[in-house]
Each structure stands twice: as C-alpha cells, then as structure tokens.
Amino acid sequence: MSEPEKTLDVRGLYCPSPAMQTVVELSKMQVGQVLLVLADDPAAEDDITDLCRTRGHELVQLNKNGSDLEFTIKKIK
C-alpha cells in the first residue's frame, strides 16, 4: 500500500462534518492518490465507509484503536 498523499484530521468533529470534509478533500485529489482520515466520532465509521461505497472510492484500510478511527482511502474516480 502506498503512503497517503494527504492526512485529514477530523477528530473532535461530529456527524456529518467528518464525512463532509472527507468528500471535500477527496474532490481536491487526483485519481489514485491516498487520503488518511483520522476521526473519533463513532458515526464516522458508517458514514465514511458508506461514502466510499456510494462514491466509488476504495476503503483500503480501517484501523480502530479505542475511539480513534483511521481510514485509508484511495481515490478511484
């Protein structure tokens, strides 16, 4: 897996902000680039997973450490 080109830290923010900011950051990136999203809102797990599925991006990895979530997302289109 390639290193993320960008890291988005949305810890401390709550639904729907983490997902909305993830969409904005992905829109600025080139196809094939990787975004690392750091979140701690429990709703972000479903929200960001769903946005990857519905918008056609690849959720490469999801790490959970207590309340901390790390999403590694590859922009597909």
Q: What is the mean pLDDT of residues 55-61?
A: 96
Q: Is 15 a catalytic residue?
A: yes
Instruction: Find the angle CA(32)-CA(38)-CA(42) to the nearest 5 degrees.
Output: 120
pLDDT at 18 over 70: yes
Number of neighbouring beta carbons within 10 Å of residue 64: 9
DSSP sequence for the chain: -PPPSEEEE-TT--TTHHHHHHHHHHHHSPTT-EEEEEE--HHHHHHHHHHHHHHT-EEEEEEEETTEEEEEEE---
Per-residue pLDDT, 52: 97
Domains, the chain, ordered by start:
6-74 (3.30.110.40)
Give this prediction's pTM: 0.94
**Catalytic-labelled residue, pool 6, 14, 15, 46:** 15
